[in-house]
Chain A
Amino acid sequence: MSLIPDVLGNLFRRRATVMYPEERREPPESLRGKLSFDRSKCIGCRLCWRVCPASAIEIVKDDKGFRPVFHIYRCIYCYLCVDVCPVKAIKPTREYENVALRKEDLVVR
């Protein structure tokens, strides 16, 4: 019974739900989103590959030596690789809509 004033008040209150695809909420500054990678800084130490709990990092060889490739569809956004990188080549972003129709579209090189 004591809830009735609140329930009636809701009829005139602004909607609490964010109508997501049309209306987007700004994520907070600290959000852990998709990773970005700077090839020019990377020294190929493979630490990120060793610590990754989800095996989301693959090491490949290119003309400059070893480098990681990030499979974002397996990433759990724990940011261990960001913490461990000695040259800060892995940078966080605030991109949170990490969906794609093909796995290849979600690979950060």
Chain B
Amino acid sequence: MAFYLPVGPQHPIHPEAILLKFKVEGEQVVDVDIDASYVHRGIEKALEYKTYTQGLYLIERICGICNVAHSTCYVINIEELIGKEAPPRAQYLRLILEELARIHSHLLWLGLAAHLIGFESLFMLIFRDRELVMDLIEAMTGNRVVTAYNVIGGVRRDLDDALAHKIREALERVRERTRYYRKVLMEDPTVRARTVDVGYLSTSEARELLAVGPVARASNVKYDVRADDPYIAHDEVPFNVVVYDTCDVWGRVMVRVDEVLEAIDMILYALDHMPSGDFRIKVPPIFRAPPGENVARVEAPRGELLHYVRSDGSDKPYRYKVRTPTLANLMATMQMLKSRGDRVVYVADIPIIFGSIDPCICCTARVLIVDERGRVIETTTDELARMKRW
């Protein structure tokens, strides 16, 4: 006999509001349905009322952890729209900050993953070492979390030699610690028992369900926007796309650990090969964009992030659309959470399987327009944009 087990919208396994409706038979999960519409904040709509420069500070607040990815994507998008390009030094500085943010995001997730499988001492240790990176971000940009470092036409501040030396020193320490955690995560029987062969997502499923980021790379899909469609300075800074073929939660853990090590190498390379020159070109604070549309994508710590803008020639966007990586990964998560054949999913594995995509719900929530009977009405981009005249 099947029971329905609701997890959320308020539940200890995940602090953000999302409803996972599980159909369970005993301890086994048979089916799952996800409702991610509890925290819709209307940011895309609000962007239509902000000038391009002001919108940058709203877009950063979509997500605290990956605010650098959002602001990088936004400035690339608007720069392509208005036909300007940031100087080479700014591209390198953006890359350094983006990779620092990737390190802090992955270390945060590794700590949370340890917490979700009940390994509290590893959680505390990883969070302690993450502070080193947070301090670097604070010294570089002026704020710990919401950096406000990227601006349209370049970056806010230059990087001097003293800070570059500080970054090198701290990253050596982070590298040493990450190598140690890698060894722990590879060998520790507790970690292996809770993650190996849990949350299986085969390569073909990952391709069919369009998984992105570390989830796809742990299922042996070699897909990384930094390598496939290089933006900022990624075509000049060499790195390896980390791919694991285990297709389980353990693979997702290892992809993230290895990406931290890759990111450290990328930052050190970028510091050594940074071009000199301006770090910002002059763009007026209030400007009109030519009519047109543009799409930009970056590799956020959680996966591919896509921004779309359409301009009607005014100083505010006509429509702005954000596709966050968690939204792309939700279908793959539903597949991971179902028992299929001899791959049984137990209720006790729900937290770590759902956590393994690094879910960020407040970026993901979408609004649906329904009629009085609850049927979904399809709306086009133009209809959504016209709603400002209601």
List chain A positions with a Cβ less than 8 A from chain B.
Answer: 1-3, 6-7, 10, 16, 27-32, 47, 50-54, 76-80, 83-84
The answer to whether B157 and A30 touch across the interface, beta carbons within 8 angstroms, is yes
Which residues of chain B are near A78, meaning CB under 8 Å?
57, 148
* Contact of B142 (CB < 8 Å), options: A10, A16, A32: A32
* Contact of B184 (CB < 8 Å), options: A2, A52, A79: A2
Give the distance to chain B from A43, nearest Cβ to Cβ, in Å. 17
* Contact of B121 (CB < 8 Å), options: A7, A16, A30, A51: A7
Which residues of chain B are near A53, meaning CB under 8 Å?
50, 53-58
Which residues of chain B are near A84, meaning CB under 8 Å?
285
The answer to whether B189 and A1 touch across the interface, beta carbons within 8 angstroms, is yes
The answer to whether B285 and A30 touch across the interface, beta carbons within 8 angstroms, is no
A51-B142 contact, Cβ under 8 Å, with A1-B189, A79-B148 = no
List chain B positions with a Cβ less than 8 A from chain A.
Answer: 50-51, 53-58, 121-122, 125, 128, 131, 135, 138-143, 146, 148, 156-157, 180, 183-184, 187-189, 285-286
Which residues of chain A are near B187, meaning CB under 8 Å?
1-2
Which secondary structure characterizes the binding site on chain B? helix
Which residues of chain B are near A30, meaning CB under 8 Å?
138-142, 157
Give the distance to chain A from B95, nearest Cβ to Cβ, in Å. 19
* Contact of B53 (CB < 8 Å), options: A7, A10, A51, A54: A51
Minimum CB distance partner of B61 in chain A: A76
Can you list 28 pairs linking A and B with CB atoms under 8 Å apart? A1-B188, A2-B184, A2-B188, A3-B184, A6-B125, A27-B138, A28-B138, A29-B139, A30-B139, A30-B140, A30-B141, A30-B142, A30-B157, A31-B138, A31-B142, A31-B143, A32-B142, A47-B285, A50-B286, A51-B54, A51-B285, A53-B50, A53-B57, A77-B148, A80-B285, A83-B156, A83-B285, A84-B285
Give the distance to chain B from A109, nearest Cβ to Cβ, in Å. 24
Give the distance to chain B from A48, nearest Cβ to Cβ, in Å. 10
Q: Sorted from nearest, which 9 A-B pairs have the closest CB atoms?
A: A53-B54, A32-B142, A53-B57, A28-B139, A30-B142, A51-B285, A16-B128, A78-B57, A78-B148
A-B contact count (CB 8 A): 70
Which secondary structure characterizes the binding site on chain A? loop
The answer to whether A3 and B188 touch across the interface, beta carbons within 8 angstroms, is yes
Minimum CB distance partner of B148 in chain A: A78
Minimum CB distance partner of B177 in chain A: A6
State A47–B141 Cα separation when bound (angstroms). 24
Minimum CB distance partner of B162 in chain A: A29
Which residues of chain A are near B180, meaning CB under 8 Å?
6
Give the distance to chain A from B78, nearest Cβ to Cβ, in Å. 14
Minimum CB distance partner of A7 in chain B: B121
Minimum CB distance partner of A25 in chain B: B135
The answer to whether B57 and A54 touch across the interface, beta carbons within 8 angstroms, is yes
The answer to whether B57 and A76 touch across the interface, beta carbons within 8 angstroms, is yes
Extra contacts besides A30-B142, A31-B138 (4): CB < 8 Å: A7-B125, A28-B142, A30-B157, A79-B156
A51-B286 contact, Cβ under 8 Å, with A31-B142, A77-B148 = yes
A32-B148 contact, Cβ under 8 Å, with A1-B188, A51-B53, A76-B57 = yes
Minimum CB distance partner of A54 in chain B: B57
Which residues of chain A are near B125, meaning CB under 8 Å?
3, 6-7, 10
Give the distance to chain A from B150, nearest Cβ to Cβ, in Å. 12
